[in-house]
Amino acid sequence: METPMTITVASGKGGTGKTLVATSLALSLPEGVQYLDCDVEAPNAHLFLSPHWEEEFPTGLVVPRVDESVCTACGECNRVCEFKAIVVIVDKVLVFDELCHGCGACTYICPVDAITEIEKPIGIIRKGPAKNGIHFLQGLLNIGEPMATPIIRRLKKEAVPEAKITLRDAPPGTSCPVIESIEGSDFTILVTEPTPFGLNDLKLAVGVGRELNVPMGVIINRADAGDDRVHEFCKKEGLPILLEIPLMREIARGYADGKTLIETLPEYRDRFLEVFGKIREEVRHAGS
């Protein structure tokens, strides 16, 4: 029996085809797949996998509240907060919810127990079955909220442990939400394009993956639209190129109509199965 595997599909920049790859891989794999759309600021995988929402519930961030009748304005909470979300000015304590990361350090350190915690709603989690029996989970950050990471963390906790393969569709970039999405993965697919911007952001994404000690491979989208510098970089860094997808009007038209790559070009199902086989070998090699 195969060991359960978690694969994160990420990209250093937006618009490279990350969701195109993630949804097509999900539909190519056998049963037992769950899909986590971790791009909680702009989730769009549901447009391609058509989940039927069976459950929806709010999720939030724990933030401090100060009882001024007990507080002595000693400043310990201010001192311990790494993000300056709680500040003491003369004899007043100000809390900035937008800066708070919900770590609980201020509550723990308060010598007179003047600080309690409440949960501030910042988004929702949705669950439901999707195409091919995929167990689909989506996080959605409320408009105006700056902190995406707590929703991604909750999304990961809601994942079912019995899934054979878990796919995480990460946000673009290399910031905290991307790190949270990749952390705990067995493998990361980095989707890029052969352009100067694509190469620059691929380098940043590789740096993140190496810091997290997660094995990586690269899929090059619109592979015939640029030059060979991405190939040269991957060869120099020892990164396997798992698949190259050409620039085709047919693919773009299908994607605009809400079709995954394998629904537009069914022959890519076997190619994505080959990609999964390469990933499995890379994971085995990394664990040996």
Does one domain contain both 164 and 267? Answer: yes
d(CA 21, CA 5): 17
Give the CATH number for residue 107. 3.30.70.20
Residues 84 and 211 in one domain: no
Q: Contact 24/191 with Cβ under 8 angstroms?
A: no
Is residue 266 included in any domain, yes or no?
A: yes
Is 119 within the bounds of a domain?
A: no
Assigned domain for 149 exists: yes
Q: Which residues of the chain have pLDDT under 50?
A: 1
CATH number at residue 195: 3.40.50.300
Contacts of 108 (CB under 8 A, 6+ apart): none
Looking at the fold, whether 45 and 75 belong to one and the same domain comes out as no
Residue given tokens 């629904």 in the structure block? 263
**What pLDDT shows up at residue 1?**
42
Q: Return the pLDDT at 277.
A: 95
What is the per-residue pLDDT for 2? 66
Tokens of 84: 């300056």
**DSSP-derived pairing of the beta strands 86-89 and 216-221:** unpaired
Domain count, the chain: 2
Which residue segment(s) compose the domain that 193 sits in? 5-49+143-287
- Both 107 and 181 in one domain: the answer is no
Q: What pLDDT, on the 0 to 100 scale, is given for residue 105?
A: 96
Q: Do residue 43 and residue 186 come from a single domain?
A: yes
252 vs 198: CA distance, rounded Å? 18
Residue 138 lies in a domain: no
For residues 263 and 260, give the distance between their C-alpha atoms in angstroms, rounded to a whole number: 5
DSSP string, the chain: -PPPEEEEEEESSTTSSHHHHHHHHHHHS-S-EEEEE--TTS--THHHH-----EEEEEEEEEEEE-TTT----SHHHHH-TT--EEEETTEEEE-GGG-----HHHHH-TT--EEEEEEEEEEEEEEE-GGG-EEEEEEEPTT----HHHHHHHHHHS-TT-SEEEEEEEESSSHHHHHHHTT-SEEEEEE-SSHHHHHHHHHHHHHHHHTT--EEEEEESTTSS-SHHHHHHHHHT--EEEEE---HHHHHHHHTT--HHHHSTTHHHHHHHHHHHHHHHHHHHH-
b/e per residue, 18-33, with b = 16+ CB within 10 A? bbbbbbbbbbbbeeeb
The answer to whether residue 77 is domain-embedded is: yes
Nearest to 131 by CA among 8, 251, 263, 41: 263
Q: How far apart are CA 14 and CA 26, in angstroms?
A: 20
Question: Is there a single domain that holds both residue 41 and residue 72?
Answer: no
**Per-residue pLDDT at 108:** 96
